[in-house]
A = this chain, B = another copy of it.
Amino acid sequence: MSDLKQKILAAVREDLVCVEKALADHLHPHFELVGQVAGHLLFAGGKRLRPLLMMRASRLCGCEKEDLAQFAVIFEYLHAATLMHDDVVDGARLRRGKAVAHNVWDPPTAVLTGDFLLARSLSLAARTGLPEVIEVIAGITEQMSQGEIRQLAHKGDVALGETIYLDVIRCKTAVLFQGACRTGALIAAAAPDQAAAMDAYGFHLGLAFQMADDLLDYTQSTADLGKAAGADLREGKLTLPVIRTLEQAEEADRVWIEALIRNPDFSTAEFERLIALMGDYGGIEYTRQCAADHVRQAKEALGGFEDNDHRRLLCDIAEYAWSRSS
């Protein structure tokens, strides 16, 4: 484990205990099977990054409430709901190293449990009593579903450019980070400029995080990933490392890569050649730089806040989001 990761984990240990407790406390469906299916994904070792962001964003904005975790779990339930639906949509087999819920049970049960988790996150949002928070959270879900549909509509589209890619990852990832950080500020009754700064931090962090995640599919093994390497490409999902490589590649290499994308049954040797080309044409390096640039912007967004433990942790998390990819 990297020093940075250890440092972050040590700093959030107490928060994590509260989040884990709140996740179990607030689940309680009235039908037991729902709890089992939801728990299968929820308690399979997620990082709880989104709830932690909300809690620290709130504290950095001056909130001294003790029970922040009960609202913070909104973002983990929401995240779990979308993971569950995405896995059905993508026909995924592994998630966090475990068989996906739609295979352990069946796709209908996974879809409906996702609906339950979505609804539970909105019920908890309602309990904040803050209509602005509820609008943020309902808005996140609207954007995320649209981002996923857009991604689906462009499945296998070799002409997908950076603009659409950025819009897709904004919708499917950044809005949730952004919403968690904004909600933290709103719960702290922060001034509008502080809420906007938190929003910007979450937005850039989310983009950097997704770019790093998209890199992992080309830089890590199946065992490290907890899901199949090269899965994005097999599902027809073009991400920035590939998009950039296609833009930069010479004709013959571009044609070869496009043919690979159209054939989801590519061999390990073919996948390795693709990775070599991504190195040669700078697709990997370019993505890393874009992610680093968003990390820089995320940290800059926090410039107006007091330099305290909360701010330093949020900066460390931004650094970590990026360092995962290298």
* Interface residue ranges, A against B (CB under 8 Å): 29-31, 33-34, 37, 82, 85, 88-90, 107-109, 111-116, 118-120, 122-123, 125-127, 129, 131, 134-135, 137-142, 144-146, 148-150, 152-153
Partner of A29, one of B34, B112, B119, B146: B146
Nearest-neighbor residue (CB-CB) of A149 within chain B: B112
Contact yes or no, B34 A115, CB < 8 A: no
Nearest-neighbor residue (CB-CB) of A121 within chain B: B138
Contact yes or no, A138 B115, CB < 8 A: no
Shortest distance from the beta carbon of A24 to any chain B beta carbon, whole Å: 17
Contact yes or no, B120 A142, CB < 8 A: yes
Distance of A145 Cα from B37 Cα, bound (Å): 13
Which residues of B sit under 8 angstroms from A140, Cβ to Cβ?
119
Nearest-neighbor residue (CB-CB) of A120 within chain B: B142
Shortest distance from the beta carbon of A38 to any chain B beta carbon, whole Å: 10
Shortest distance from the beta carbon of A28 to any chain B beta carbon, whole Å: 11
Shortest distance from the beta carbon of A172 to any chain B beta carbon, whole Å: 10
Contact yes or no, B123 A135, CB < 8 A: yes
Which residues of B sit under 8 angstroms from A113, Cβ to Cβ?
145, 149
- Contacts A33-B153, A118-B141 hold; do A135 and B126 have CB atoms under 8 A apart? yes
Distance of A122 Cα from B138 Cα, bound (Å): 6
Nearest-neighbor residue (CB-CB) of A37 within chain B: B149
Q: Which 5 A-B pairs have the closest CB atoms?
A: A119-B141, A89-B108, A115-B145, A123-B138, A122-B138
Which residues of B sit under 8 angstroms from A123, Cβ to Cβ?
135, 138-139, 142
